[in-house]
Structure formats: C-alpha cells, structure tokens
Amino acid sequence: MKAAVVRAFGEPLVIEERPDPVPGPGQVRVRVEASGLCHTDIHAAHGDWPVKPSPPFVPGHEGVGLVEELGEGVTHLSIGQRVAVPWLGRACGRCEHCLSGWETLCEQQINTGYGCDGGYAEKMLAWADFAQPVPDGVTPFDAAPLTCAGVTTYKALKVADVRPAQLVAVSGVGGLGHLAVQYAKIAGATVAAVDVTDDKLELARELGADIVIDARKEDVGATLKQHGGAHAAIALAVDEAAFAAANAGLRRGGKLVMVALPAHGTVPVPIFDTVLNGTSVIGSIVGTRQDLAEVFQLHAAGRTKVIYETRPLETVNDSIHAVLHGQVKARIVFDLGAGR
C-alpha cells in the first residue's frame, strides 16, 4: 500500500510502498477513501509542538474509508462499513476524564497520525471502539473534514456555551473556521468572521457570517467592540497576534476559546482587563465520539456544507505549501481512490 511518510521534521514527505498493516486485537484495517489535510498535520510534520511524534510516521487524522479486516474481538463493526478515524485514536476508558465524558483529556490517549500512523495512506489501522461509523448519505469527502475540523469547532462552540442573541467571533476561516461559522449560525448566534484573505472572507459571507472583518485592514478588537463585543471568540488562526486581537474584542463576561496551536505560541492576557471584565480563556481540544456523532447527524440532515477540493496523495508537499500560503478555499481532501 501507498503512504505519505514524514521521515524527518521539516523535510518533504516521501511517498512509500509499505506492507498492509495487520489489525491487532480490538483494531480494524480501513481501506481509506478520503483523507483531509488538517493544519495539525503540518505542525506534526514540522515538529512544531513541545510533545513531538517520532519519525518515520504517517500523518492524517481525517481518514475515512471502508472496514476491510476485523481484529480479534471486534464484533460491532462489519466488513465494508464506512468509518472515520479521528485524532482521538484511543483513550483508556477508565480514568476520571474518560468516565466523565471528557475522553479527549485522557492522559493515556493515542493520537492518530501522531502517536500512531494515520490517514495519509491507502490503508490504516483504527481502534474499533474509536472508529466512528459514517451515516448513509454522508460522502467520504464530506466526512473527512468533519472528522477533525467539524468536531473540533462544534465542541469549541459547546464549551463556549453559545446561545441565540449572542455575538460569536470566528478568527480564521480555514478548514476549521468555515465549519465554525456554520455551527455558530446553527446555535442561533450572530457571527463575525475574521481572516486575512479576500477568498476566505467571501466564503464566510456565503456560509452565513453576518459581519466580516479583514484583519489586514481593520483593528479586530475595536471592530468587535463597535458591535458590542463578542460573547465568545473562537481562535482558529495560526497566529498569536490573532489570539490577542480576539481577546481584545470580547465583551464583559466573554470567553476566548483557544483552538489553533501556533508553534511556541504564547498570548499576553492583560490581568487588569481580564479581572475587571470577567472574561475567560478556555482551551478546547477536538471533541468526543458523541460530539462527532452529532456532527455527522447534522450533516446528514443537510444542515452543514463542507467546502473542499480533492487532490491525489502524491501532491502532499504542494498541498501543504498551498495551505501555508492561504491558497486553499477551505480544506484539501486526498482522494485515495478506494473502490475504484
């Protein structure tokens, strides 16, 4: 099988032929149909974060495909069933986080495309208990971006406890942001979308944003304040300055939800303003299996639209370049050609 492999941080990925992986107990092998390129995969390939993967590894945590082999003990999935393999590859199922519905905080978790090989491949392994069945009527190409970009932003809006009549700022309308705009609208909020490219601002408008703010030309914090200030600002831009700008645009009692993960990122949070204005800073990491089930359910009901372009896996290095230079409308999804 073909896979795109990170051999060393910061080097181009290499397309390799590898033997098909063999599922162990509790695992399944998936013949990948579609695999999204999340900006996290770029951080992984660059070794951007304090906790690093170990090259060689196959990135990708938006892999969607058909189960083709069941490991020992797997009874609830069947051959030919379509599943999505998210970032949360597995969690322990026994710790306080797992038992309280916060499996995404499990300290024993293994992350797909980071702690084990991921979806930039024709075949991949998944732990059956964490492989999410994809409902009929959701295509693999739509399911792929929903598997990380979708579930992550859906969860970010949940932790912000967004309600109708609130103003939500979505900072960064990329893969994650284009779905965040839609979930905020579904929650009934007024949405202010912030980006630095004309295409993304136009896309935000098409997807229902009420206000668009061009961070190249406008003071984001001041503009949000002119609209009364944001009840929640969802920070999705890979840029520290954008976090500070979003924080400055909160209204009293507002919440900054940190989602993007710029390398070595730190943000100055002014103590006086935070205390006097009663604002919060919250970190939000992907979402649970239940969150992903809800994301798929909303999509199957026709309530969200996934914007993507398909490319062959061989374009992986050019595709990464395109994401880094803002030349992608929302998401790139690799077409692995399963079933053809």
Using CB under 6 A, list all residues that contact ligand NAD: 38-40, 43, 148-149, 152, 171-177, 194-197, 200, 215, 236-239, 241-242, 259-261, 284-286, 323, 326
Report if residue 85 touches Zn ion, rule: CB under 5 A: no
Residue 123 contacts residue 4 (beta carbons within 8 Å): no
Q: Please report how close the Cβ of residue 149 comes to Zn ion at its closest, in angstroms.
A: 7
Closer residue to ligand NAD in complex, CB, 15/196: 196
Q: Look at residue 98 and give the partner it binds from ligand NAD, Zn ion, none, a contact being a CB closer than 5 to 8 Å depending on partner kind.
A: Zn ion
Minimal distance, residue 18 CB to ligand NAD, in Å: 26
Looking at beta carbons only, is 27 or 152 nearer to ligand NAD? 152
Span near Zn ion by CB under 5 A; candidates 85-93, 137-145, 186-194, 321-329: 85-93
Burial of 8 (0-12, 13-18, 19+ CB in 10 A): exposed
Q: What distance separates the 2 farthest-apart alpha carbons in the chain?
A: 60
232 binds, among Zn ion, ligand NAD, none (CB under 5 to 8 A by kind): none
Q: What is the footprint of Zn ion within residues 99-158 (CB under 5 A)?
A: 106, 148
User: Which of 14, 42, 95, 322 is close enough to bind Zn ion by CB under 5 A?
Assistant: 95
Helix (H) or strand (E) holding 220: helix 220-226
Peptide bond into 56 cis (omega under 30): yes
Residue with tokens 């579904």: 186
| Cβ 109 to Zn ion shortest distance, Å | 7
Q: Is 32 helix (H, G, I), strand (E, B) or coil?
A: strand
Which of ligand NAD, Zn ion, none has residue 139 at its interface (CB below 5 to 8 Å by kind)? Answer: none
Give the integer Cα–Cα distance in Å for 339 and 82.
12
Calpha distance 242→104 (Å, rounded): 25
Minimum distance from CB of 68 to ligand NAD (Å)? Answer: 27
Q: Taking contact as CB under 5 A, which single stretch among the options 95-103, 192-200, 222-230, 314-322 is the one that binds Zn ion?
A: 95-103
- Decide whether 221 or 254 has the Cβ nearer to ligand NAD: 221
Q: Which does 8 bind (CB under 5 to 8 A by kind): ligand NAD, Zn ion, none?
A: none
204 is a site residue for Zn ion (CB under 5 A) = no
Closest separation between CB of residue 99 and Zn ion, Å?
A: 8
292 near Zn ion, rule: CB under 5 A: no
Based on CB atoms, which residue is closest to Zn ion, 85 or 98? 98
Q: In the chain, where do the E strands start and end?
A: 2-5, 14-17, 27-36, 63-70, 82-85, 88-90, 110-111, 123-127, 132-133, 167-171, 190-195, 211-214, 230-235, 250-258, 280-283, 308-311, 331-335
DSSP 42-105: HHHHHT-SSS---SSB---S-EEEEEEEEPTT--SS-TT-EEEE-SEEE--SSSHHHHTT-GGG
Return phi, psi of residue 190, to 5°: -85, 135
Closer of 217 and 340 to ligand NAD (Cβ)? 217
254 residue type, one letter: G
Rg, the chain, Cα only: 19
Q: Which span (34-42, 183-191, 318-326, 327-335) binds Zn ion, by CB under 5 A?
A: 34-42
Separation of alpha carbons 41 and 295, rounded Å:
21
Q: Which residues bind Zn ion (CB under 5 A)?
A: 38, 40, 91-92, 95, 98, 106, 148
